[in-house]
DNA sequence: GTCGATCCTGCTACAGTATAACGTAACCAC
DNA sequence: GTGGTTACGTTATACTGTAGCAGGATCGAC
């Protein structure tokens, strides 16, 4: 693998339009089916996350919402992001105080997030083994599990290649 | 189990003094052995965390440092906490933007933290299964693992009992 | 068709968390 | 005792997140 392109080119690329439209359509369908309201603000916030393709902060989302004429105050972004996270369309990346579109909405919450500390890219995977291990750990302590937060911080393949 | 006491009594209790002294002595020994400097500020910060017995924010630590005549500005607390976290004497609790003393310093980093959303208590456990699962997930994606962040949010036994 | 309940938005204000940057002091090796 | 390194003190500021209230949209019950 040559690393030439990875150095200069912003990470999120390839067939953006298709995927963005696909995710939005899916979200619309799913919200309609569940009685959720994918309002313009929420829809646009999701579009921003999907287009970005990596973890971005709430205030970055807010800036873009403002550019598009949506409200320009923090609660606007946080409400929209809270909705997306609560309903499985996005994930909060605790390691970065940031948000990323869910790449597999409609399936599996409690993902394992592989977070690149260099470029902010987030790969979303699943691990039943990890999930079960956490459930077991909680049970062993009499702890009532409500939510799990599993993130792996490191370097994505492209950035690992670029680093000496 | 009767929940009578758990309702009124602040969570951290039982033989504080012994344990605090024990942890501090251990930290001194270990720092001396590793060429690390457990300065007064760092030592006091660790003492604060151990005494507290649950997750508290950097600014709470800062307030107590100030009361004791240590510097009263944010970097003072953050530097001390960074030192403690970097050297395994404390953990950062991402789910709460808070810090907690490591209950098992000298062994095993990358713990699984069971975080009570009600009282802030943190129980520290380990799970080789989870650790291996995350390693496998990272390898499968060509991701270079540097650090893991595993937190389980829910209710500790005492709080689960208290909640209707 | 309108009333009320509910959800969503717009907005102000503020609370809480974290870091940049720079100068000074203490310590250690040589 | 000079220079490198590490830690501290301080100012200022950036970043992240929430409380709370007023008003508008939506929808079901009647």
The 10s digit of each residue's pLDDT in B133-148 is 999 999 999 999 999 9
**Average pLDDT across chain B, whole number:** 88
A40 touches strand D (CB under 7 A): no
Contact check, Cβ <8 Å, A155/B136? no
Instruction: Kindly report the bases of strand D lying within 7 A of a protein C-beta atom.
Output: 6-13, 15-20
First to last CA, chain B: 15
B57 touches strand D (CB under 7 A): no
- Summarised one tens digit per residue, pLDDT across range A20-29 is 999 999 999 9
Contact check, Cβ <8 Å, A134/B140? no
Question: Has residue A8 got a pLDDT over 60?
Answer: no
B47 three-class SS = helix
B chain contacts of residue A121, beta-carbon cutoff 8 Å? none
State the Cα–Cα distance between residues A151 and B76, nearest whole angstrom.
28
Chain B nearest C-alpha distance from A114 (Å)? 7
Which residue numbers of B have CB closer than 8 Å to A's CBs?
94-95, 112, 114, 116-117, 123, 125, 127, 129-130, 132-134, 136-138, 140-157, 160
State the Cα–Cα distance between residues A141 and A119, nearest whole angstrom.
37
Structure confidence at residue B14 (pLDDT): 57
Q: DSSP per residue over B98-162, as a string?
A: EEEE-SSTTS-SSPEEEEETTT--EEEE--HHHHHHHHHHHHHTT-EEEEEEEEEEEE-HHHHHH
State the Cα–Cα distance between residues A26 and A48, nearest whole angstrom.
15
Name B127's Cβ contacts closer than 8 Å, sequence gap at least 6: A133, A134, A136, A137, B112, B150
- Which nucleotide is the nearest neighbour of B98, by CA and C1'? C17
Structure confidence at residue B4 (pLDDT): 38
């Amino acid at each position: 693998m040559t690393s030439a392109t990875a150095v200069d080119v912003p990470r999120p690329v390839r067939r953006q339009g298709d995927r963005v439209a696909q995710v939005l359509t899916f979200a619309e369908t799913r919200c309609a089916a569940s009685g959720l309201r994918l309002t313009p603000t929420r829809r646009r916030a999701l579009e921003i996350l999907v287009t970005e393709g990596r973890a971005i902060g709430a205030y970055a989302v807010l800036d873009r919402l403002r550019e598009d004429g949506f409200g320009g105050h923090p609660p606007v972004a946080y409400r929209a992001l809270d909705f997306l996270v609560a309903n499985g369309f996005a994930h909060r990346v605790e390691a970065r105080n940031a948000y990323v579109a869910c790449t597999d909405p409609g399936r599996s919450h409690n993902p394992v997030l592989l977070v690149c500390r260099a470029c902010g890219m987030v790969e979303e995977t699943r691990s039943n083994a990890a999930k079960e291990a956490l459930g077991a750990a909680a049970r062993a302590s009499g702890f009532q599990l409500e939510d799990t937060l599993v993130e792996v911080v490191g370097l994505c393949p492209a950035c690992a290649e670029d680093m000496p």
